[in-house]
With several copies, the nearest count.
Chain A
Amino acid sequence: MSVPSAGQADRSPVTPDELMEVNAARALAGARTCFVGIGLPSTAANLARRTVNPDLVLIYESGALGAKPTRLPLSIGDGELADTADAVVSVPEIFNYWLQGGRVDVGFLGAAQVDRFANINTTEVDNGPGRPRGRLPGAGGAPEIAANCGRVLVVLRHSPRNLVRRLDFVTTLGHGGGPADRARLGMRGRGPVAVITDLGVLRPDPETAELVLTALHPGVTADRVRAATGWRLRAAPTVSVTAPPTDGELARLRALKAAGRDGPGDDAGPGGPRGT
């Protein structure tokens, strides 16, 4: 596929969210099956089906196997997911036979907080002394998606509040405290292989499992990413720059989101970021 420079056909400039979404979709190239959380993961997975991976099988925890929605679903249980699916099964079956059975290549998660080992918090945040802890939606499918998929992609917006040195609560294990923890706990999948944000891409260092900067979106500096990260972010030996969105990617992403304007859908739903 050729990669022309961005924005030639579409007049409005590419937004940071669009860079995140396009790169998240690209990360699904080659995958056969994807367990999709609502929100940013669903946007990315549906874009992937329209760009890099037309045959990608979308699996929603509501029971839809092989859903082919024509527009972005607003909730995990939209009727169109069932109407377009190869099969609709019960929620216990989705989790037991299809996810836990090891049949899903990629788990795609949103997050409220991610720490430097790609552990995820979607349960509660510490608002400081004297204030009640802030309540988040909770685990949803994330702990078992992260445990049982072949690999995991995490997508969230970059800020020091979102990418933190230490989580207030570990809802979902990423790499624990280092490279041996998943194996020690008997986790079957590889865990998080990339955290894709609106500024760039972090990946676990092969030696330490700590997230390091591996790619920047066009126009973003490493310093800006470091300033938006709650720990002292290191860079991989080589930091690449992500290719700008192609005209096709951008057009399809914008069409998808315009058709989905009936409701938000970017910031809520199981596996999505903080529900506020």
Chain B
Amino acid sequence: MAGIRSLRDAVADLIHDGDTVAMEGFTHLIPFAAAHEVIRQGITDLTLARMTPDIIYDQLIGAGLVAKLVFSWGGNPGVGSLHRFRDAVENGWPRPLALDEHSHAGMANRYVAGASGLPFAVLRGYRGSDLPDRTDTVATVVCPFTGEELAAVAALTPDVTVIHAQRADRRGTVQMWGLTGVQKEAALAAGRVLVTVEEVVEELTPRPGAVVLPSWAVDAVAVVPGGAHPSYAAGYSVRDNDSYRAWDAVARDRATFTAWLNALVGGREGR
């Protein structure tokens, strides 16, 4: 049953050194505030999973907290490279970054398998690609009915999944709408679930396109208005494209990034 907690306490309780953490949200509803709290608390040696690492993981990688990245597309959407991700992969700065690299379809199905309590999922994917040579989480299975060989991907079961949603009720039932990506699957695949929300309301009136996570499938809810910025929460904010562009200059250089990091860690109210 989800308790309504402060973000600081919820992160400290639920996310630990060495955990596999998924912070999901497909461009929309990316839980930046929670990631910044992880940086402030210095929770480290993380394996981070996310279809699109986006600048949220560029920041965690640059902060030196990430040992391994599980992903399928690592760019700054609409802008260009993730420079901290590239620097870690190409130069090992500030630490080497192991990769478990997939296609979007593969990552999505890895979460589906995790949410479904299955050890693997089947898809028509990866054929002819060099990707399977680099990972031990892609294999093949043979259909017992047709004999056809298909790709199998191992279930992805994070220790913790963190997502941002529009709102929750006081019991901790969560409601989100708009592009809801792979968040339900990532949450249900995880051992623990932390949700930051724009607001808590007395009653979750039904919304078109809403995905609801019952309170008993969530471990903690933290109220963080604007907690997806510079991503957005449909109905509450719009994507801050200027911040995404500005990140390019911050992240391109180790010194400017380090200054950004120090400012974030120095000020508890930094974001």
Contacts and interface: CB of A to CB of B under 8 A. Distances in A.
Interface in A225-272: 262-265, 267-270, 272
A61 B77 contact: no
B74 interface: yes
Contacts of B73: 137-141, 270
A100 B234 contact: no
A264 B78 contact: yes
A182 B128 CA distance: 9
- Give the interface centre of A87, A171, A268 by most chain B CB atoms within 10 Å: A87
A119 B131 CA distance: 13
Interface stretch (A17-25, A75-83, A158-166): A75-83
Interface stretch (A2-10, A46-54, A127-135, A202-210): A127-135
B117 A181 contact: no
Contact of A138 (B76, B101, B105, B118): B101
B222 to A, nearest CB: 20
Contact of A32 (B52, B78, B101, B216): B216
Nearest to B104: A141
A155 B79 CA distance: 18
Which interface class (under 10, 10 to 19, 20 to 34, 35 or more) fits A? 35 or more
B103 A82 contact: no
Contacts, number: 239
A contact face: mostly helix, strand, loop, or mixed = loop
Interface in B202-225: 209, 211-214, 216-217
B126 interface: yes
A186 interface: yes
Contacts of B234: 79, 82-83
Contacts of B75: 137, 268-270, 272, 275
Interface stretch (B39-47, B107-115, B257-265): B107-115
Contacts of A140: 52, 72-73, 103-104
Contacts of B28: 62, 77, 79, 82
Interface string A102-114: 1100000000000
Contacts of B124: 100, 144, 147-148, 186, 188
A95 B116 CA distance: 8
Interface string B25-49: 0111000000000000000000000
A103 B217 contact: yes
Contacts of B81: 135, 137, 275-276
A82 B179 contact: yes
Given A64-B179, A78-B27, A92-B112, A268 B76 contact: yes
Chain B interface bracket (under 10, 10 to 19, 20 to 34, 35 or more): 35 or more
B182 A90 contact: yes
Contacts of A76: 26-27, 77
A86 interface: yes
Nearest to A141: B104
A61 B104 CA distance: 9
A63 B25 CA distance: 12
B166 interface: no
B179 A170 contact: no
A69 to B, nearest CB: 13
B241 A181 contact: no
Nearest to A96: B116
B128 A181 contact: yes
B147 to A, nearest CB: 11
B179 A144 contact: no
B128 A270 contact: no
A96 B109 contact: yes
Interface of B: 1, 26-28, 51-52, 71-82, 85-86, 89-91, 101-105, 108-109, 111-112, 115-118, 123-131, 148-149, 173, 178-182, 184-185, 188, 209, 211-214, 216-217, 232, 234, 238-239, 241, 244-245
Interface of A: 32-33, 38, 57, 61-66, 74-79, 81-83, 86-88, 90-92, 95-97, 99-103, 119, 123, 132-135, 137-144, 147-148, 169-173, 176, 181-182, 185-188, 262-265, 267-270, 272, 275-276
23 contacts: A57-B216, A78-B27, A79-B234, A82-B178, A90-B181, A91-B26, A95-B105, A99-B105, A101-B188, A132-B90, A135-B85, A137-B74, A138-B71, A139-B131, A142-B103, A144-B125, A185-B127, A263-B241, A263-B244, A263-B245, A264-B245, A268-B77, A275-B76
